[in-house]
Amino acid sequence: MKNAAIYCRVSTEDQAREGYSLGEQLEKLKNLCKFRNYNVYRVYEDAGISAKDMDHRPEFKKMLEDVKNKKVNVIVSYKLDRLTRSVRDLEVLITELEKYDCSLECAMDDINTSTANGRFFVRMLTVLSQLEIERVSERTKFGMVGAIKDGHIPVRKTLGFMRDNKKLIINPAESEIVERIFDLYLKGNSYQKIANIFNKENILNKKWYDTTILKILSNPLYKGDFISGGRTGAPILYKGVVEPIISKTLWEECQVQTRKNSRNYTRRNDYIFFQKIICPNCHKIMACKAPGGSKKKYIYYQCNVCKTYIREDKLIKLLIDEIASIMEYDNTVKKFFAPLLKHKIENTNKLLTKEINSLKDKIIRLKDAYLNNIISIEEYKIDKNNLENKIKKLEEKQKEERELDKYNFTFEDIMLKRDLESIKSMTIPFYQDNFKIKWNELSVSEKKNLIMDYIESIEVIKKDNKDLEIKQINFRKTFIEEYANLFNAKAINCYKYISANGNNFQIETCAPMTKDEIKKYIKKLQLYYPIDYQEVEKEQINNNQFQLKYTRSNRFNEPLKIIPIINNNNFKTITKYGVIEIPVHPIPLMVPNFNIK
């Protein structure tokens, strides 16, 4: 009489999908042993365990030990896939069973390895089984790829997004919170500080943790990308599968900031150029240092490697003109037109209405739950109040959007505003000093935030006489990208060095315009200040350089800006430039009313 080992295994997925339990398997296998006249030596059960390999099944391993000790000479199982689904593991198992003169029988597959034909049939059956498993896996992956590319992202509720027919779309009620997190982090706030701010303001009526902020800042979904299979060790990146809440540039800059923050910097104060100054000797980011003793009134930046130090007040003197330009841009473009620019691009009214209706439906379902005694009156009142508060906030935002609809402006208005600011700086004495005065009126925190918004790093040269010189200012990519988009939209100018009649000078220029566009713009500008205009020829010096055949209209004029003229709608054949000149003697400047709340 043979000693039989009855082996049963079931995973949670198997039971849910195929409906057989350990008890059902055991009953059938005991009946088979009775029919075969086998003595049941022991029952081995692995519950809730997968058949991916043989190393992580304790009862299976005990059974093989008993085979090796000659206590068992036949293994009885319900189906072959209860033992293994791997061709490699099956080959190892059959080899081991042959070595110790033990056979294998499976009740539902009519398998018996006591003969050569039986062993061949088992191997073929397992090959086909694994082939089917791999084909199903491939079809599943292929279907998932298609779904992800269509915006059906397999993630749980993610801040800033909501479902629309299974597709992940931006939730306008939460997207501003996400934007604010990235903005606060880029301004130098730590994860914990951001969490503290949100807890103090009771954002979304929930408890915020530093780990929550970290997960949001590192989630590529906010830049429109999705990573699948991160836990398996074989992640796949899907680019541009959802509408991004923030730009890819901003996301990348925050990752750079994370790497900076991972280093140890001494902070005992609020430093204006925090993590911005590059050491002139070893090119490391300089740490912040506030010394004691006789020098305690000064703020310093010190290199932790070579101990080079730089005084903050000296840096400000060198950078004040650049800072004034940044402040002018921040005041006249970023703060002035930003709400309208955002509204024109996004126009979230429809999404807000959809979210409001969704919350109203939840209130109706909540009432039904109370009437059917599913929830208590206290739970109903609390949840209803929370939903109504969310609706109120969304309706307030909707009102703001409708207010913005009333304003009708163009990118040309931004250009006009900035050109008038340039005229002020050229004609009104000490106008630039006005921004320097405003700078001094800012708090240290406000100064730091301004630098954080626009500057990535500052490269400094220290001369032999210990004087400083600014080698280069590296602006943030987000600012450069924003500036480039506005320049291409003919909203703002940029500075260029131009050669004319053998003289080199720096002057503002804008994106190419047609003659009709220039004519229209000049008429608008002349409403506020008398200007002169002339067209000049471009003269090529060599392949890379050219100069303009330019002479001032009269000796009291100064060039305000030059405009590349589009020749027959062909951007590649710029042969002429328009030059706008202004008289520099004092003339009253009519300033348009651009006040936007």
* pLDDT tens for each residue of 450-502: 898 889 899 998 887 678 889 999 998 888 888 888 888 888 888 888 888 77
Q: In the chain, list all ranges with CATH 3.40.50.1390.
A: 3-145
Region at 315 (left for phi over 0; alpha for psi -120 to 50; beta for the rest): alpha
Q: Do 549 and 539 contact (CB within 8 A), yes or no?
A: yes
Q: Do 192 and 200 contact (CB within 8 A), yes or no?
A: no
Cite the DSSP H helix spans in 102-171: 116-149
pLDDT of residue 339: 58
* pLDDT tens for each residue of 431-458: 667 777 788 888 888 898 889 888 989 9
- The angle formed by the CA atoms of residues 325, 331 and 335, to the nearest 5 degrees, is 135
Mean pLDDT of 99-122: 78
188 CB-near residues (< 8 Å, 6+ apart): 274, 275, 448, 452
Residue 565, SS3 per DSSP: strand
Q: Write down the residue that tokens 């800033």 correspond to.
A: 160
* Banded model confidence at residue 266, pLDDT cuts 50, 70, 90: very low
Q: Is the pLDDT of residue 209 over 80?
A: yes
Element (H, E) at 302: strand 300-302
Mean pLDDT of 589-597: 51
Share of the chain above pLDDT 90, in %: 14
Q: What does the block give as tokens for 125?
A: 């059956």
* pLDDT tens for each residue of 396-405: 877 776 765 6
Cα gap 49→215, rounded to integer Å: 31
Q: In what order do the strands lie in the sheet with 277-278?
A: 277-278, 455-462, 468-475
Q: In the chain, list all ranges with CATH 3.90.1750.20.
A: 161-312
417 phi and psi angles, rounded to 5 deg: -60, -45
* pLDDT tens for each residue of 342-367: 555 555 667 778 778 888 888 888 88
Instruction: Name the CATH architecture for the domain at 3-145.
Output: 3-Layer(aba) Sandwich (3.40)
Cα gap 229→13, rounded to integer Å: 20
* pLDDT tens for each residue of 155-203: 778 888 887 777 778 887 788 899 889 988 888 788 888 999 999 988 8
- DSSP readout, 300-352? EEE-TTT--EEEHHHHHHHHHHHHHHHHHHIIIIIHHHHHHHHHHHH--HHHH
Q: Please provide the average confidence, as pLDDT, over all residues in the chain.
A: 79
DSSP assignment, residue 567? B
What SS3 string covers 434-496?
HHHHHHHHCCHHHHHHHHHHHEEEEEEEECCCCCEEEEEEEECHHHHHHHHHHHHCCCCCEEE
Residue 187, SS3 per DSSP: coil
Q: What does the block give as tokens for 236?
A: 């796949």
Where would I find the beta strands (DSSP E) of 68-116? 74-77, 103-106, 111-112
Q: Do 277 and 458 contact (CB within 8 A), yes or no?
A: yes
Q: Is the pLDDT of residue 597 over 50?
A: no
DSSP assignment, residue 393? H
Q: Is the pLDDT of residue 563 over 90?
A: yes
Burial of 268 (0-12, 13-18, 19+ CB in 10 A): exposed
Which residues are designated catalytic?
11
Q: Which fold has domain 161-312?
A: Hect, E3 ligase catalytic domain fold (3.90.1750)
Closest to 326 in 3D by CA, of 430, 461, 415, 449:
449
44 CB-near residues (< 8 Å, 6+ apart): 5, 6, 7, 8, 59, 60, 62, 63
Q: Amino acid identity of 213?
A: I
Cα gap 176→246, rounded to integer Å: 10
